[in-house]
Copies of this chain bind each other. A is one copy, B any other.
Amino acid sequence: MDIVSETVEKAVVERRFDLKVGTEVVPGIHWLPEEPAPSHPTVLIGHGGTQHKRAPNVLALARALVRHLGVGAVALDAPEHGERVSDPEAASKARRGLEQRLGADSGSERRGVSESWRSVMAARIPGHVREWQALIDDLQTMPAWSAGPFGYWGLSMGTSHGLPLVAREPRIAAAVLGLNAVASADDPQASLAAKITVPVLFLLQSDDELMTRDAGIALWDALGSGQKTLHLNPGGHIDVPRFEREAAEQFFRRHLLA
């Protein structure tokens, strides 16, 4: 991990780093308390589709976790997101397409994302899971950075990455997932969810333009975890209430600090 820059804002240290994974250079951010405990947990924050490692909700969550729990937080740009966009025009088009879907009538029959978008996203998942695992490896080389345990927070696309990561990675002790669904009878997300056994907080929006409520609940049903709580709120995909951040803090406090 190469530290590119380090700043302190609102009592939170923010380190911009580059992580080399194979031939890829993955830009990320590590947020830390100014005086971290010698051995502290870290929460991995997976951003949503068309977002990036320092999107407003990612930054706000990271700072809240550092300030209120004294843990570290890290975020990476997902493939073709943030500083990793190779074709800005295609990225803009994807963002506009998503924005149109999110403005669509939630009563529409056309909920869900297109097959082509789904397959493009799916192809990027295995590589990004390896990047998260490489980041955990790297963090653990420096006890001052993080001795674990690790938490994972990621909604929507962050859950598409989080399901295989949490299913495979024993160093992750608890996860906040959601805004995602079992899209079809053969959706591999259901079997990945079944492999997850750590506590999960799962967020859904009742009028999500990208999925039916039943398909979202089916993904919660599929989770193998004995302790899994679904939080359902009214509104669309981007309307997750602010207080769910507080619920996530409470969840990580219980499972990473107890």
Contacts and interface: CB of A to CB of B under 8 A. Distances in A.
Most buried by B among A217, A228, A229, A233: A229
Contacts of A140: none
Given A227-B241, A241-B227, A220 B247 contact: no
B229 A232 contact: yes
Interface residues of A, number: 19
A99 to B, nearest CB: 24
A95 to B, nearest CB: 29
Contact of A230 (B226, B228, B230, B247): B230
B220 A228 contact: no
A169 interface: no
Given A227-B241, A241-B227, A232 B220 contact: yes
A97 interface: no
Q: How many copies does the complex hold?
A: 2
Nearest to A249: B250
A246 interface: yes
B243 A254 contact: yes
A231 interface: yes
A256 to B, nearest CB: 14
Contact of A247 (B217, B228, B234, B250): B250
A175 to B, nearest CB: 16
A181 to B, nearest CB: 15
A217 to B, nearest CB: 8
Contact of A228 (B226, B228, B234, B246): B234
Given A247-B250, A250-B246, A250-B247, A234 B226 contact: yes
A229 B234 CA distance: 8
Contacts of A233: 228-230
Contact of A241 (B229, B232, B246, B247): B229
Given A220-B232, A230-B231, A250-B250, 7 more contacts: A217-B232, A228-B234, A229-B243, A230-B230, A243-B254, A247-B247, A247-B250
8 contacts: A220-B232, A226-B234, A228-B234, A229-B241, A243-B254, A246-B250, A247-B247, A247-B250
